[in-house]
Amino acid sequence: MDYFSTFGSLLSYLLLYKYVALFIFIFLSGVGFPVPGNTLLLAVGAFTSQSYFSFPLSLTIACIANILGDLFDYLLMRKYGKFLISRNFHKKIPFASKIRQYVKILDQYVKEREFIVIFITRFLGIAGTAVNFLSGLVPVPFKKFIFYDALGNIANIFLMLSLGFVISASWQTIANIFGVLWTGLGIFILIFAVIIIIFKSKKRTTSV
Amino acid sequence: MEKSNLKWYLIIFALLVVIAALSLLLIFHRPAPLYRPIHGFLLHHSHRVLTVSDVGRIQNWMTFDYINKIFKLPSDYLKNTLNISDSRYPNLVLYQYASGQKIKGSDFIVQIQNAVRNYLTPAK
């Protein structure tokens, strides 16, 4: 692995600052910064198998950081989302000009499937961030969001750490494969969701 | 902030504190009966000692401390063998040290690998 790759530097910081770095990276990943959270968790899982990190402590810190990161998005959108839409800032962006219409469709979709949407997307990186924003915008009730988010995050983080723990020294090979899969799947779901929304909104306007 | 939301913030905060406290208890206290089998499994798996065949896994993003721990080297072995005088040792990234010393990263990795190999290879 080339040191100059961002991931190499992240791993160095992880080894130097351990749990502080783990908290910061997972929090940023939860907020939506392009930090490979799941791959880092695989690495930490491997480090726990070498007794360099503690499994329960890593699990706790990663869960808290990820939940706080998701909450940041949710609360941000809950507080300012409707205000931003009412100010029509989005109308300056061609695609986002119909955002109010899209939110109505998503509102209905998310409200009918809150658990599935929030829980499943905890495993899908970038799609999870989009759902955090959306949940704040709809808004999904706070207690429901936090409950489903916590469940999903605990399950995902436990899975990633355990996988890293089991594959141990081979984690880098597996991480490369998973990295591509996760990113691909997350982007695919986002594109799919956008297509469905556009399709539904067009259908609705023609039927009116 | 709404009153009902504040209540939930407090509940979540309390839950997180409980999770953190339980984890710390599991780490620093004697494992509870329920946790013991898991703890045993973790210990069993976590003590796979890396051997000479694993020295190829050393990479420049690793720290000296990490290499010492995973190969079970004495903490000053690499410092003495490679004449490292940097005060940040062992919390020092290999690449960082190599670039500071104007050594080519890949050459330095080979030096480290040789030093670890020499330590792990039993003397004839």
Digit-coded pLDDT (tens) for A184-196? 666 776 676 667 6
Residues 6+ apart with CB under 8 A from A128: A30, A70, A121, A122, A152, A186
- In a mutational test of the A interface, the residue from B18, B46, B99 whose CB has the highest number of chain A CBs within 10 Å is B46
Q: Shortest CB distance from A3 goes to which of B19, B50, B95? A: B95
Digit-coded pLDDT (tens) for B50-98? 778 888 888 888 999 999 998 889 989 999 999 998 888 899 999 889 9
Give the DSSP per-residue string, A94-159: TGGGGHHHHHHHHHHHHHHSHHHHHHHHTTSTHHHHHHHHHHHHTTPPHHHHHHHHHHHHHHHHHH
pLDDT band at A28, cuts 50/70/90? very high
Q: Shortest CB distance from A169 goes to which of B15, B26, B54? A: B54
Q: Quick check: B54 and A55 CB within 8 A?
A: no
Which residues on chain A are in Cβ contact (under 8 Å) with B61?
1, 3, 8-9, 11-12, 15
pLDDT the model gives residue A96: 58
pLDDT band at A71, cuts 50/70/90? very high
Instruction: Average the pLDDT over each of A15-19, A39-43, A78-82, A199-203 and give the range with the smallest value.
Output: A199-203
pLDDT the model gives residue B3: 59
Question: Distance (Å) from the C-alpha of residue A119 to the closest C-alpha of chain B?
Answer: 17
Which residues on chain B are in Cβ contact (under 8 Å) with A12?
61-63, 93, 95-96
Mean confidence (pLDDT) of chain B: 77
Whose CA is closest to A10, among A36, A38, A32, A30? A36
* B 47-106 → A contacts, CB under 8 A: 47-48, 50, 54, 57, 59-63, 65-66, 69-70, 91, 93, 95-96, 105
pLDDT band at A116, cuts 50/70/90? confident
Spatial separation of the C-alpha atoms in residues A33 and A129, rounded to whole Å: 9
Mean confidence (pLDDT) of chain A: 79
Spatial separation of the C-alpha atoms in residues B116 and B56, rounded to whole Å: 10
Does the pLDDT value for residue A22 go beyond 90?
yes
Whose CA is closest to A54, among B33, B28, B51? B28
Q: Decide: pTM greater than 0.90.
A: no
The ipTM is: 0.71
